[in-house]
Amino acid sequence: SLPDKFVCYLSPSAVSNLSRDEALSLAHRITKNCPLKVTHRGINGERAPSFQTTEELQVASSLVSKFERFTPAILRELGQVAVGLSVSDIENKISDEDLEASLPALGEVRGWNSDQSSAIINKLLRSGYQISDGQSLAKLGSLVAGLSSSTLRSLPPEVILEAIKLPEFVQ
């Protein structure tokens, strides 16, 4: 088996022949051992978005392609590798109930592109997810970027004020 410190440098071709169980195990090891690169900018050194290389995203996509369906347990186990989900995967391979149940795990994933985060948020809202208080807004985590400006404007100010006081939202 590959030592943990090398799982961060795999090429997409290295993971193409893995079984589903091997893909899940590798995804867990990648999440545990591969820190996201964070770029810094500005005079205060505020954090810019985390990013992954094209190759890392291809590895993530290759690993998630092994699954027909994504349950909360699988999405939790995929961890950061869930960033490899396509919009089609989000729309067709995750049930509405499983998507809402997976929010804690998906909200921790960094590096969603705007299409992915919008697809997740829109599917959640279509299935009846309510942003009724700061907790339900904070629960979205990194997915909050997928909220449309009209949805954000429609939220009562106290919901946003409550959310920004929660440590999990500020991160």
Task: Give domain limits for the chain.
Answer: 4-170
Q: Are 45 and 33 in contact (CB under 8 A)?
A: no
Q: What is the pLDDT of residues 68-104, one digit of tens each?
A: 999 999 999 999 999 999 999 999 999 999 999 999 9
Report which DSSP code applies to 50.
Answer: E
Closest CA to 26 of 95, 84, 69: 84
Candidates 115, 163, 164; CA nearest to 143 is: 115
CA distances from 95 to 29, 90, 101, 115, 153 (A): 26, 9, 10, 18, 28
Mean predicted lDDT score pLDDT of the chain: 90
Q: Helix or strand or coil: residue 70?
A: coil
> Which residues of the chain are modeled with pLDDT < 50?
39-49
